[in-house]
Amino acid sequence: NQNADRFLTLLRDSGVKCYDFRKTLHDDGMKHHEAFFVTDHHWKPETGLWAAGHILKILRDDLGWMVDVDILSTENFEYVIYPEWSLGSQGKKLTLMRAKPDDFTMIYPKFATNLQIKMPQIGLDVSGDFTNFYDTEQIKEKNYYKLDNYCAYTYGNQSLIKVYNNSAMNTKRLLIIQDSFS
């Protein structure tokens, strides 16, 4: 939190408008610790979907984009839960002797998607539905120390991801500078 506070202060002092989802999380009545994995410092995928909904609201309310914020309602997604499947970075340091693995959820849209996804670092350039974001090799089996199920989303931390929504009804562009939470 101290690092985030310092970073946000630097941005705001430079005139950059910022959104701090830590406050939004609490304003929505969510419990901070339940938004994160127990054995890792990352948000759960469910928390990421919640944040994406708030980003759509910002695009609509603050920037005037014509977006359907209801598209990210939880009922528009399928949740596949892998019980005790995730042993995050903090859990791996403690080992299974002292840490209980977290459940891990893969989230799939129930609605049609048509995207082109480019991740130059790994040579990925595909078109199709949203599942092209997922590296299912990371969840094919429960292996706490050799596989990283968190990397099933967007093939882990990529330095650049370009996404083109082929179904978009506008030509808007969005740049997201992210850390591992995105």
Question: Which residue is listed with tokens 């690092």?
Answer: 3
Provide the residue type at 84 as one letter.
E
Say if residue 4's pLDDT is above 90. no
Say if residue 182's pLDDT is above 80. no
pLDDT classification of 181: cutoffs 50, 70, 90: low
**What are 22-32's pLDDT values in tens digits?**
889 999 999 98
What pLDDT shows up at residue 170? 85
CA distance 85 to 77: 20
**What pTM does this model have?**
0.90
CA distance 143 to 139: 9
Say if residue 163's pLDDT is above 70. yes
Where are the extended beta strands (E) located within 35-149?
Answer: 77-86, 102-109, 115-119, 124-128
CA distance 12 to 39: 32
How buried is 119 (Cβ within 10 angstroms: 0-12 exposed, 13-18 middle, 19+ buried)?
buried
